[in-house]
Amino acid sequence: MKLERIAAVALVLLGTGLCAEARDHADRKIVIACPPTRAPMMADVVTAIEFSDYDASPSVRREILARAREACAARPDAVLSFAPPERSQSGDSQLASK
């Protein structure tokens, strides 16, 4: 009985550690599809951020909106991906877009 408890606790601790590590290195990105009948709005950005489970400051949200509007004006059928800073290739930007 005691051995079973130790094994169960070890499994729980191992699982918790793996989940935390996976969460820290998740391949997160914010994805926005250009709306077909209008320019992207802040509500589109907020929804995409909430769906991605990524936290973005108001200034980053405004930057995403500006980039989305610019890209959607050039390519109305585009699907845009924004990566958090830890995944960006350049360290000088708050947000990398693809």
Both tokens of residue 33? 């599809």
Model pLDDT for residues 18-68, shown as the tens digit of each residue: 444 445 545 678 899 999 999 999 999 999 999 888 888 899 999 999 999
CA distance 32 to 41: 11
CA distance 40 to 69: 6
Query: What was the pLDDT predicted at 19?
Result: 45
CA distance 9 to 15: 10
Task: Classify each residue of 5-23 as buried b or exposed e, where b means 16 or more C-beta atoms within 10 Å of its C-beta.
Answer: eeeeeeeeeeeeeeeeeee
Higher pLDDT among residues 3 and 61, named by residue: 61
Query: What was the pLDDT predicted at 53?
Result: 80
Any idea which residue has 């509007």 for tokens? Answer: 69
3-state DSSP assignment of residue 27: coil
Report the pLDDT averaged over residues 60-81.
93
Helices 42-52 and 58-74, packing angle to 10 deg:
110
> Is 93's pLDDT higher than 50?
no
